[in-house]
Amino acid sequence: MKLYGMAQSRSFRALWALEESGLEYEYVATTLRTDGSEADSAKHPNYLALNVQGKVPTLVDGELILTESIAIMNYIARNAPESGLLPKMSTPAYAHLDELVFFVLAELEQPLWTKGKHMFALPEEYRVPKIFETAKFEFKKAVNTLDHLLGEGEYAIGNSFSMVDILLAHTFNWAIRFEFEVPEKYVALRDRHYQRASAQRAMAVIE
């Protein structure tokens, strides 16, 4: 497997999953918002042939190319069932896992990326700084909903670490970096999961 990624972007959650899985992989550091003539640029023609959006992550495994972080994490988990990234559970528990994944992508992460786009990602003429207050409101609302979706255990699903824990920890790390108001219990969640050996190894790869 070959993973193209950049620092603390969404590619980090895929890199973390690879480290948790124990699968062999190659990591290719890729730069965003750089000139397409540079070999490591996401705008380089060779990279655009893999990912037409010129974004990260991209996973290549033989003839398979995946460009969505959650699809990549699922693929990694299914190739390493012993890792527990997708734990052996009942169908209702898997339904709850899916609910949490989709909620993080659709609700918890959305205001973070809204702020990011209007801070630096969009061309300046399309940025609307006034939207930051809306993003703050939406994030607070999503956190309140998450309080009702999560139990009181150490992990999101059952009694073991799974891909949902990676997703939550990475998303809250993103929120902290973007200076959103994150409740202390979710700061502690981020800190606890980022102390895992797999997370530390993934951090070493991007440093």
Secondary structure of 55-98 in the HEC alphabet? CCCEEEECCEEECCHHHHHHHHHHHCHHHCCCCCCCHHHHHHHH
Question: 6: domain range?
Answer: 2-84
In this structure, the answer to whether residues 154 and 183 fall within a common structural domain is yes
> How many beta carbons lie within 10 A of that of residue 194, not counting itself?
16
Judge if 58 and 128 occupy the same domain. no
Query: Considering the domain boundaries, does residue 57 fall inside one?
Result: yes
Query: Residues with Cβ < 8 Å from 99, sequence gap 6 or more?
Result: 149
Task: Say if residue 127 is in the same domain as residue 147.
Answer: yes
CB 180 within 8 A of CB 172: no
* Contact indicator for 28, 5 with CB cutoff of 8 Å: yes
Q: Is there a cis peptide before residue 57, judged by omega within 30 degrees of 0? A: yes
Confirm if 87 and 160 have CB atoms less than 8 A apart.
Answer: yes
Quick one: 122 and 149 in the same domain? yes
203 assigned to some structural domain: no
145 within some domain:
yes
- Judge whether 202 lies within some domain: no
Q: How far is Cα 115 from Cα 119, in angstroms, rounded to an integer? A: 6
pLDDT for residue 34: 86
- Residue 19 and residue 71 in one domain: yes
129's enclosing H/E stretch is none
Among 51, 84, 117, the domain-final residue is: 84
pTM of the model: 0.95
Count of C-beta atoms within a 10 Å radius of residue 135: 20
For the chain, 207 residues long, give each residue's pLDDT as a single digit of tens: 999 999 989 999 999 999 999 999 999 999 998 888 899 999 999 999 999 999 999 999 999 999 999 999 999 999 999 999 998 888 888 999 999 999 999 999 999 999 999 999 999 999 999 999 999 999 999 999 999 999 889 999 989 999 999 999 999 999 999 999 999 999 999 999 999 999 999 999 998
